[in-house]
């Protein structure tokens, strides 16, 4: 018997969702991210993050396409280790993305505190953070669309600024603005080098085609920086950083950090291999190696362990002053 077709249910809210911007969380050359409060019917409120792009950026078709593409791409990524996207909207013609608000810090700020105090992120916690990054990447790299087509996602900007850590110990990848995936975004490879130089893979620094293994090289750079306290490709000029990356000489971790566990040094060397074929071939492979290392004794760090550590840091940091603004979406 033929099943009758049913027209999709259309919801027409009586009240338009509005957002009140509370404070700026971060600014870049192309836009800003704000803490905000979402307002709904009957006094409903929810804390969110709002990503706005600058007006001159919105007027350039290629940048606007990527911003819209980012919203569409990340809307498909529902995972505990990726910041969630709630809504794409426009205010006075300018587009914005409403996202999950993370009550916590980014990894860059956390690392700055350690450098300032001449200490390093505890090794087990550093490896745990890297394992959660790999967990999020494993999901993103293998994501398919509704038709079963691989999205081919490569983040291309894995760096401490784009790793959020919540007060509850959750590690989340954010900012897919430089990502590529299917036909949603302009990848620009071969035309322009995109991302943060000090965390790029050699192929990304050269402007060559990238795949998920490029992101794993970046994870290796982030992990090594947490463990030894310095970025292994840092230099006085961007040109010198790029030169070092295009034909990288990976430091001798045996000499640089003799106290580091030999197994961990091996994981770093493999993640940081110049040839992608010599790296981990999938984020899930690197995840297994990292978890095997930290839990080989039958116990190891957890989200709760990281939460306690991060809360101690956050309780010592002054909250930035608030600002007032609002959006309707």
Residue 170: its pLDDT value, please? 97
pLDDT in single tens digits along all 329 residues of the chain: 555 566 778 877 777 789 999 999 988 767 899 999 999 988 899 999 999 988 777 778 878 888 888 888 899 999 999 999 999 998 877 889 999 999 999 999 999 998 888 888 999 999 999 999 999 999 999 999 888 989 999 999 999 999 999 999 999 999 998 888 877 656 666 556 667 889 999 999 988 889 999 999 999 999 999 999 999 988 888 888 888 888 888 888 888 787 889 999 999 999 999 999 999 999 999 999 999 999 988 889 999 999 999 988 877 764 444 444 555 55
Count of C-beta atoms within a 10 Å radius of residue 237: 8
How far is 79 from 59, CA to CA, in rounded Å? 32
Residue 319: its pLDDT value, please? 45
Nearest residue to 173 via CA among 145, 153, 189: 153
Residue 324: its pLDDT value, please? 47
Residue-wise pLDDT tens digits, 60-83: 887 888 888 888 889 999 999 999
Pick the catalytic residue from 106, 145, 146, 157: 157
Question: What are the structural domains, with CATH classification, of the chain?
Answer: 18-101 (3.30.200.20), 104-312 (1.10.510.10)
Q: Are residues 271 and 280 in contact, defined by beta-carbon separation less than 8 angstroms?
A: yes
212-228 helix and 283-294 helix, angle to the nearest 10 degrees: 30
First to last CA, the chain: 44
Residue-wise pLDDT tens digits, 165-185: 999 999 999 999 888 887 765
Per-position DSSP letters for 233-273, written without gaps between them: T--SSHHHHHHHHHS-----HHHH-TTS-HHHHHHHHHHT-
Q: Are residues 104 and 166 in contact, defined by beta-carbon separation less than 8 angstroms?
A: yes
| Cβ burial 81-107 (10 Å sphere, 16+ → b, else e) | bbbbbbbbbebeebbbbbbbbbebbbb
At 44, is the secondary structure helix, strand, or coil?
Answer: coil
Q: What are the Cα distances from residue 30, in Å, to 206, 242, 277?
A: 23, 22, 34
Residue-wise pLDDT tens digits, 193-211: 667 889 999 999 988 889 9
Residue 188: its pLDDT value, please? 62
Residue 2: its pLDDT value, please? 56
**Known catalytic membership, residue 157:** yes
Residue 26: its pLDDT value, please? 86
Q: Are residues 156 and 204 in contact, defined by beta-carbon separation less than 8 angstroms?
A: yes
Q: What is the pTM (predicted TM-score) of this model?
A: 0.90
């Amino acid at each position: 018997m033929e099943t009758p077709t049913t027209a999709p249910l259309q919801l027409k809210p009586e009240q338009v969702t509005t957002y009140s911007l509370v404070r700026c969380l971060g600014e870049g050359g192309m836009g800003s991210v704000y803490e905000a409060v979402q307002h709904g019917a009957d006094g409903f409120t929810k804390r969110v993050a709002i990503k706005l792009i600058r007006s001159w950026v919105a007027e350039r078709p290629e940048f606007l396409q990527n911003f819209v593409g980012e919203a569409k791409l990340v809307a498909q990524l529902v995972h505990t280790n990726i910041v969630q996207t709630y809504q794409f909207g426009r205010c006075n013609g300018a587009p914005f993305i409403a996202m999950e608000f993370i009550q916590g810090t980014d990894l860059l700020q956390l690392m700055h505190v350690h450098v300032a105090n001449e200490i390093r992120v505890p090794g087990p916690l550093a490896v745990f953070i890297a394992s959660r990054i790999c967990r999020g990447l494993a999901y993103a790299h293998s994501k398919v669309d509704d038709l079963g087509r691989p999205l081919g996602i490569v983040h291309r900007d894995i760096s401490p600024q784009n790793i959020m850590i919540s007060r509850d110990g959750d590690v989340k990848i954010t900012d897919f603005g430089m990502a590529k995936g299917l036909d949603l975004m302009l990848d620009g490879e071969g035309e322009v080098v995109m991302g943060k130089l000090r965390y790029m893979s050699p192929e990304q620094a050269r402007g060559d085609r990238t795949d998920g293994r490029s992101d794993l090289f970046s994870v290796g750079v982030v992990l090594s920086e947490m463990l030894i306290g310095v970025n292994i490709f840092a230099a006085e000029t961007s040109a010198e950083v790029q030169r070092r990356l295009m034909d990288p000489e990976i430091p001798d971790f045996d000499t640089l950090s003799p106290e580091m566990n030999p197994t961990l040094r091996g994981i770093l060397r493999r993640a940081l291999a110049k040839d992608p074929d010599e790296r981990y071939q999938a984020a899930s492979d690197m995840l297994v190696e990292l978890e095997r290392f930290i839990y080989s004794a039958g116990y190891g760090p957890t989200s709760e362990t990281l939460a306690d550590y991060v809360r101690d840091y956050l309780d010592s940091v002054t909250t930035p002053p608030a600002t007032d603004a609002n959006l309707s979406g």
